[in-house]
Amino acid sequence: MAARTARGLCLWTIGLALTALISTPAVADDGKLLGAAGLSSIDGAAGGGLVPWAVIAGYGEQGQWDTTGALTYVDTGDFNLRAGSISLGWNDRLELSASRLSLGLDALVAAGAFPDVRLDTDVLAAKLRLGGDLIYGDWPQISAGVQWRHSRDRDLIESVGADDTSGYDVYLAASRLWIAGIGGRRTLANLTLRSTSAHQLGLLGFDDDRSLVLEGSFAVFLTPTIALGAEYRSKPDELALAPEDDWYDLFVGWFPNKRWHAALAYVDLGSVGGVQDQQGFYLTVKGSP
């Protein structure tokens, strides 16, 4: 039942995003709108909680730069993930970010399958806006990104059968925001195509082969500061000892001002480390000086 629900939400999210991206854009007043910088994704890039968007971190426009920091916590009961990141956006064109992911293996430690340690992975990333515009023109904003990842736990990574402790992702994202979208409310859609070799974001190491996966986000602003949305992130599932399922979430984003953003989500991660049915909550807070 959970798998059918996940597949249904996947098709719904990607279908809405694709339909929205090819629709006619609306217009807006000058200036970067509240919420147009997105939240902070789990691995540091500006976007939703699970998926990087084409937007550039911060509210800086041409000739300006902005820095943001974010803290994220995910808990499914059997596992917990802590993440901290910092991002620099320049000229609404280039984004640089660094983050640390730390996974607690509570269920596997309790079963005696792993020692009582956390799996830590570092992520260094860059994103470049290639063209288009989030609001104006005929084309959505399109950006390309690269994320280099390195696991700090070689012995544990080798024990699960992963090929390497380092790897990289490359992705192409397209995002569009409508001022008068669904029900006359601001509406955002994003599609991301990713090439990856990572197992569980690199927390369980990397594969010698690469996989091409699809990700999508869709959100509607119920008020100027509250957004309701859904995301889907396809996973490669290449590690024999620890099957990997696609991820999805349902989130509420809060944008009280351009300095502080937060999101709370229900998240379904499927199988993690061989433990099935990993559902729980996701909380992220992003701030800018």
**pLDDT band for position 28 (cuts 50, 70, 90):** very low
- Residues 80-102 have a mean pLDDT of 96
**pLDDT band for position 13 (cuts 50, 70, 90):** low
The domains located in the chain, with CATH, are 2-287 (2.40.160.40)
Radius of gyration for the chain, computed over Cα atoms and rounded to the nearest angstrom: 18
pLDDT digits (tens, 9 = 90+) for 33-64: 999 999 999 999 999 999 999 999 999 888 89
Output 63 or 264, whichever has higher pLDDT.
264
- Classify residue 98 as exposed, middle or buried by CB count within 10 Å of its CB (0-12, 13-18, 19+): middle
The yes-or-no verdict on residue 4 having pLDDT over 80 is no
- Residues 276-285 have a mean pLDDT of 95
The yes-or-no verdict on residue 275 having pLDDT over 90 is no
State the pLDDT at residue 1.
46
**In this prediction, what percent of the chain has a pLDDT beyond 90?**
73
From 26-30, 51-55, 91-95, 166-170, the region with the lowest mean pLDDT: 26-30
Question: Contact, 206 vs 196, CB < 8 A?
Answer: no
H/E run at residue 231: strand 226-233
The per-residue DSSP string of 16-64 comes to HHHHHHTSPP----SSPPTTTT-EE-TTSSEESSSSB-SSPSSS--TT-
**pLDDT band for position 187 (cuts 50, 70, 90):** very high
